[in-house]
Amino acid sequence: MQYLFSVIAEGPAQATEEEQAAVDGFNDRLIAEGYWVFGGGLGETVSATVIDNRGAGEPIFSDGPYVESKEYLAGFWVIEAADLDVALRLAAEASQACNRKVEVRPFLQPE
């Protein structure tokens, strides 16, 4: 079962050196113990572009994030875990390592 860990930041997006070292250590453990699927930090929200191509005409590009808010997504992990108990324990470590709040959400399961 896969879970998305969203890193929710307030203030600076850039991790401090100390935070980065803790995240690197945590990532090594995720890989070694078979939880790692993918993960990474994201560029600042000002670097985002929103595309809307639902209409019949040309796609519309808008500069900036789809929603302006004080809290924003600063990075994420996709991890493989047996159940939510395992995922929550890893997320608690993730939050400590990156020193940010982390939201855990399951990927949809094929029925």
Partner 1 sequence: MTGVTGPTGAREAVTRAHHEEWARVVATLTKRFGDLDIAEEAAAEAFAAAVEHWPAEGVPPNPGGWLTTTAHRKAIDRVRRENKRDDKHQEARLLSDDEAPEPVGAIEDDRLRLFFICCHPALAPETRVALTLRMVGGLTVPEIARAFFVQETAMGQRITRAKAKIKAARIPFRVPDAQDLPARVSGVLAVLFLVFNEGYLATGPDSDPVRQDLTAEAIRLARLIRTLLPRDGEAAGLLALMLLIEARRTARVAAGELVALDEQDRGAWDPDLIAEGHRLVRERLATGQAPGRYQVLAAINAVHTSARDYRDTDWTQIVALYDQLVRLDSSPVVALNRAIAVAELDGPEVALAAVDGLADRLDGYHAHHAARADLLRRLGRSGESRAAYDRAIELAGNTAEVAYLTRRRDQLA
Q: Which residues bind partner 1 (CB under 8 A)?
A: 1, 3, 82-85, 87-89, 104-106, 108-111
- Cβ proximity to partner 1, 66 vs 107, nearer residue: 107
CB of 29 to partner 1, least distance (A): 16
- Cβ proximity to partner 1, 102 vs 104, nearer residue: 104
Residues 6+ away with beta carbon under 8 Å from 37: 2, 77, 78, 79, 80
- Cβ proximity to partner 1, 13 vs 79, nearer residue: 79
Instruction: Report the alpha-carbon distance of residue 51 to residue 67 in Å, rounded.
Output: 13
Residues 6+ away with beta carbon under 8 Å from 34: 80
